[in-house]
Structure 1
Amino acid sequence: MALHTILGANGTIATELLPILHQNKEHIRLVSRRPQPVSYAQNIAADMLNYDEVISVVRGSDIVYLLVGLEYNYKVWQRDWPVIMRNVINACKAANAKLIFFDNVYPYGIVNGKMNEATPFNPISKKGKIRAEIDMMLLNEMQSGALNAIIARAADFYGPRCTDKSVPNTLVFSRLKKKQTPQWLANAAVPRSLTYTPDAAKAIYILSQHPEAFDQTWMLPTAAPPLTGKQFIQLAARYMHGTNKVQVIPKWVVGFIGLFNPVMKEIHEMMYQDEYGYWLDSSKFEQTFHVKPTPYEEGIKATAEWFLQG
């Protein structure tokens, strides 16, 4: 059995990955600033900005998952992400551990057509430029042969057990549970990919089990074709027994609120994704590993059921 170490053990994807590792009888080490005890895993507190602590928690690992989530603020990202990535890269090299970095699609900017592993970086946001920078740090290590690693990319996600880290969960499912009108950002008429969180966790475990998958980028399984915001809300409303009316929040409103609300200010610069939509093409993963993503209707139904039970 290999030792699988999760850096950022309290996050959404870690929550989904943990039972998968346990079911497969892997040794598990959970690392976060404030670890929550899990009986069948090592639980260690560490600061990813402290190199000595990162070296210590990575030592002895076979697979390391970088699932850290930082405050949604580009200044925090600019300050901390390069330090974290360099610490984790060096710690994995010292431990001879393989690294899987769970990433988003921010480095690609606006893409006409499908977004896949060959899509060039063209970030148009501050946060996208930071993600592209740390991706290049990792890609350079991979290309040099100094580190076996994977960049695993997901679209923005939705699913059960993730509430405050998912815009669709917050604006659609949470509001429907409160008998409120569901909301969507900028444009509810363009198709926009969303990754189902259980699919993402299963996929990164699959990648960990295939040595030939390393030193590559992989788009994680995401249903296709993408739904529009209106279509997503219609399905959610059906299973939440609520209204399928859509309240679209215009970009200028988010910009105005962002003058007073730091989180909305950070969301504002990313709203090109909602204005123009995008299609994440995961066919490489699906064809390589013979895995099909959960259809939107099935994922939305399961998410609705989880919200209704809560």
Structure 2
Amino acid sequence: MGYHAILGGDGAIGRATLEAVKARGIDGKALTRADANAMNPEALVRVLDGAEVVYDCVGLPYNSDLWTTGFPAISNALVTACEKTGSRIVYFDNVYLYGPAPLPVPFDEKTPRNPPSRKGRARKTAVEIVMDAHRAGRVRATVGRAADFYGPGAVNSPFYISFLENMLKGKAPQVAMPEGPVHTYAYTEDMGRGLVTLALDDGASGEEFHLPVGPAVKVSDMAALFNKALGTSLKVTHIPDIVLLGASLFQPLIREVREMSYQYKTDYIMSDNKFRQRYPKFMSTSYGDGIAAMVDHFRK
């Protein structure tokens, strides 16, 4: 058996995937930008030689322009490289490709893919490059798709930026989400274990799966669990749309977040039934346990 390579091995999902690979007794290697440019197929061929499985967990800065060119370029390079190395691709995706908004409740792998955002269109193009290559017989590929996630090291999580980040300083957590709509969230370590579960199942080739999520909850439900883990009683501050609009005029990151705000306006519930039915023994982490681990990580 060859080793398992993780592209984007220094990110929260990449690290969780490496842990899950090693927990199965498999030789794993985390690869970062220092090892290879993920948009360069020749560089990828060099670092992926001998890899039985390649997990694409590469992240890019939260910027529509970068995503529009970057994610398709990574997919093209990955397909070209894995066609040469014979490595199977396990592609880590997000839910931005679905649309138009509002999405059905719940939404599943068959939900229409007409995304209302530039970032969503970039992700749709990128995953289609990989799956078209699978259908053409160039590579073998499986997709594991995640909801918004939280957990140790997840600095881009909606529950870290201005949320846990604030709470650790004794300040009220801030969110762009209104109180009311419910959402499903994913735990980073469950995502890593889910990707390895797919990698070890040859029958999952050519399929797309929603990775496991917790139950649908409100922002205040999550805040209560963060307060419990921290021993605090801080109330969530909801940033009004008008304030976000004003801030977006001179803060690029706020502008990028606002583009995705449709996800928070209504119930946004991801179905993981397809994964659960195929892998009924997969045990998910509770929100309480996952948040406690996230708090412990960032406290240190």
2:89 counterpart of 1:70: no
**CA distance in structure 2 between the partners assigned to 1:51 and 1:91 by the alignment:** 5
Matched with 1:130 is 122
**What amino acid maps onto 2:96 in structure 1?**
Y
Alignment of 1:136-151 (within 5 A): 136-151=128-143
Please name the residue that 1:197 is paired with.
Answer: 188
Assess if the C-alpha contact under 8 Å between 2:135 and 2:206 holds in 1.
yes
1:116 to 94, 105, 108: 108
- 1:55-78, CA deviations, whole angstroms, 9 ceiling, x for partnerless residues? 212222110011111111111111
The residue aligned with 2:26 is: 26
Aligned to 2:159, what secondary structure does the other structure show?
Answer: helix
Give the partner amino acid of 1:27: D
d(CA) in 2 for partners of 1:174 and 1:77?
A: 25
Q: Residue 91 of structure 2: which of 89, 92, 101 is its match?
A: 101
2:143 is paired with a residue whose SS is strand
By how many angstroms is 1:296 displaced? 1.9
Equivalent position amino acid for 1:187 in 2: P
Distance in 2 (CA, whole Å) between partners of 1:282 and 1:87 is 29
Cα deviation code 1:6-25 (max 9, x no counterpart): 11111111111222222333
SS at match of 1:62: strand
Q: RMSD of aligned C-alpha atoms?
A: 1.6
Measure the CA separation in 2 of the matches of 1:196 and 1:175: 20
Per the TM alignment, residue 205 of structure 1 is displaced from its structure 2 partner at its CA by 0.8
Normalised to the residue count of structure 1, the TM-score between the two structures is 0.91
Quote the Cα distance in structure 1 between the aligned partners of 2:222 and 2:68: 33
Aligned to 1:251: 241
* Residue identity matched to 2:179: A
Q: Secondary structure at the match of 1:29?
A: strand
Q: Letter of the 2:76 partner, please give it.
A: R
Task: Give the drift of 1:261.
Answer: 1.5
Instruction: Quote how far apart the aligned CAs of 1:301 are.
Output: 2.9
Deviation at 1:270, TM superposition (A): 0.6
Alignment partners' CA distance in 2, 1:306 and 1:5: 25
Aligned residue number for residue 301 of structure 1 = 292
Superposed, 1:185-224 pairs within 5 Å as 185-224=176-215
Q: Structure 1, residues 167-217: CA drift from partner, whole Å, max 9, x if none?
A: 212233222211111122131211011111110001101111110111100
- Range 95-104 or range 18-27, more displaced: 18-27
Q: Which runs of 5+ in 2 are unaligned?
A: none
Q: C-alpha separation between the residues in 1 aligned to 2:82 and 2:41?
A: 12
Residue in 1 that maps onto 2:223: 233
8 Å contact kept, 2:2–2:50: no
Structure 1 letter corresponding to 2:129: M
**Secondary structure of 1:281 counterpart:** coil
Q: How far, CA to CA, are the matches of 2:285 and 2:244 in structure 1?
A: 31
Amino acid at match of 1:8: G
Partner of 2:16: 16
Aligned to 2:152: 160
* Contact persistence 2:90–2:144 (CA under 8 A): yes
Superposition TM-score, scaled by structure 2 size: 0.94
Distance 1:159 1:94 in 2: 35
Which among 260, 269, 286 is matched to residue 276 of structure 2?
286
Supply the AA of the counterpart residue of 1:217.
Answer: E
Quick check: 2:151–2:187 contact (8 Å CA) kept in 1? yes
Give the paired residue count.
297
Give the drift of 1:29.
2.7
SS in 1 for 2:91: strand
Alignment match, 2:76: 86
Structure 1: distance between partners of 2:63 and 2:32: 19
Distance 2:205 2:92 in 1: 13
